[in-house]
Chains A and B, each alone.
Chain A
Amino acid sequence: MTETLTTAVTAPMVRAWIERSAKVLADNRAYLTELDAPIGDSDHGNNMDRGFKAALEKLPEGDDIGAMLKSVAMSLISKVGGAAGPLYGTMFLDGAKPLAGKTSLSADELAQFFDDAVAGVMKRGRSDVEMKTMLDALAPAARAFREEAAKGSDIRAALKAAAEAARQGMEATIPMQAQRGRASYLGERSIGHQDPGATSSHLILQAFSDVVEEAAQ
């Protein structure tokens, strides 16, 4: 088999990403809510499932990737509530800003999308990595994407690296003491649990990698 380079992410791939995310989050609804029980308020899976269902329902027709991602942001902001709604909403909103009107994305544009998305979450959440949040999955993923993409502009490889970095980042939240969100009220009692937000972030990034991988085959 000859390996072809994936040099662009197209609008149908982005649509498939949102569809796959909605499916994966629905499949993992109970799992995410379970993770949220010991260090939160047992609602993260319900929140993410509700949000991505709404995002999928309202996803606009057509090939404008910026418009699609902005629509996802607005659905998450108006349907999720809690902490995850504004955070994931801001992530898609800030990431999508420079992408208005684009029908396909280069590796550089995607790298920028991830960087803007992470910066948006940090600003909205007044948070950073190592605080036991979704950022522990998102930030390493954005970095891994940029580094891998710089090597040869293959988006497939870069997304794979990003998803793997997110998985490692998610697991790294287990020994951390939470410093943001509801979990932080528990102090040391938050140690030893995997962060639900980092877990949903990994699922979403893995979904992106999977649909682009499948499109290339």
Chain B
Amino acid sequence: MKKLVNNAEDVTVEQLKGFGLAHDEIDVHFDPNYVCVAAPVQDRVAVVSGGGSGHEPLHGGYVGLGMLDAACPGQVFTSPTPDQMFEAGKAVHGGRGILQIVKNYTGDVMNFQMAADMLRDEGIEVRNIIIDDDVALKDSLYTAGRRGLGTTVIAEKVCGAASLEGYDLDRLAALCKKVNIHGKSMGMALTSCTTPQNGTPSFELPEDEMEIGIGIHGEPGILRDKIRSADEVTEILTDRILDDEAYTRNLSEWDPAKGDWTDVEVTDITLQKGDEVIAIVNGMGGTPLSELYTVYAKLADLTARRGIRIVRSLVGNYITSLEMAGVSITLVKTDEEILRLYDAPVKTPALRWGM
């Protein structure tokens, strides 16, 4: 293992220290670990997210004006614990409740639920909305369901803007759900990655092979194949997204009337001719931008041929797996509301426009 690490056990804390020193508008708290906007949240819904470390800039890099109010980083590739979200939630609660945006990984879902239960005991209203946009996984009944990928970034951006516009908690939760069912992603890896704790790659990938349908924790994907050209790889990912059929599954949500968690049936949209989308061509941490733009060129061609228009795009590292080389593509179908909120000003370490 060759890494800029002092002590494998301290990587999360050490990066948080640097993060706080580098960004004045963000406060960093330790024990439990969380980062939050330095300016108090007043009279609007607070938007909070979190997950394992190693996906930077997700989530801490998206804390700031017009996006997240707080983020809770776990150990590398391990979900954070409820005490982190509990303290972060109390710190940023602005009197109008908290929206927690949660990627669909078993650990994340359960830890955020426990945190929501703890915050509710303090009299704070909380809604958890799950992002599960990974089209690589077909089935939800016999698996933990689709994983959360790039749509998470768009959900955080759009919901942060909506909070500033004054959306109440119910409306904000509904919006977040809409972004989730409008978003589809799929990823692939050229190389594996190594967590500092384990010191060896999480899977072996020979020089001439690629792994298709990966998540973001260095877990293997759904299939392995000989490496192909950029165009061919882009086509595999894009076709799977464009051809994805309406996906129906049960997601766990808090039911305020019942006062308990319940399963709610949710069905994705399918992408149609005439749709307008936000596109992300996302590096996994170790992919040169030049390669990502090569992928983008093919993506633009493939979508145009299907009559789908990319109206906004992000090309770069937005949700990563340490030093992994590879790419994931995300398409989120927009409408007037999503596009307006996406275009609203944002000022975070990793995403900044309009101000």
Residues on A close to B: CB < 8 A?
Answer: 41-43, 46-47, 77-83, 85-87, 89-90, 124-126, 177, 179-182, 184-187, 189
Contact = CB atoms under 8 A, between A and B. Distances in A.
A185 B147 contact: yes
A187 B81 contact: no
A139 to B, nearest CB: 18
- Most chain B CB within a 10 A radius of its CB, from A85, A89, A177, A180: A85
Interface of B: 32, 74-75, 77-83, 105-107, 110-111, 113-114, 137, 141-144, 147, 197-198, 202, 215, 217-220, 222, 252, 263
Top 10 A-B pairs, shortest CB-CB distance:
A184-B143, A86-B110, A82-B107, A83-B106, A83-B107, A78-B83, A81-B78, A179-B142, A184-B144, A81-B81
Contact of B198 (A42, A77, A90, A125): A42
Given A80-B81, A81-B79, A82-B79, A187 B114 contact: no
A5 B145 CA distance: 48
Contacts of B105: 182
A85 B52 CA distance: 14
Contacts of B197: 43, 46
Contacts of B111: 81, 85-86
Contacts of B110: 83, 86-87, 124-125
B49 to A, nearest CB: 16
Given A81-B81, A86-B110, A185-B144, 9 more contacts: A41-B202, A43-B197, A43-B198, A81-B74, A85-B107, A126-B263, A177-B142, A185-B143, A185-B147
A42 B144 CA distance: 18
Contacts of A179: 141-143
A111 B113 CA distance: 28
A186 to B, nearest CB: 7
A48 B24 CA distance: 37
A77 B144 contact: no
**Residue from B82, B83, B197 whose CB has the most chain A CB atoms within 10 Å:** B82
Given A46-B197, A82-B107, A180-B106, A77 B114 contact: yes
Given A77-B81, A77-B82, A42 B202 contact: yes
A126 B142 contact: no
Given A41-B202, A41-B218, A179-B143, A78 B82 contact: yes
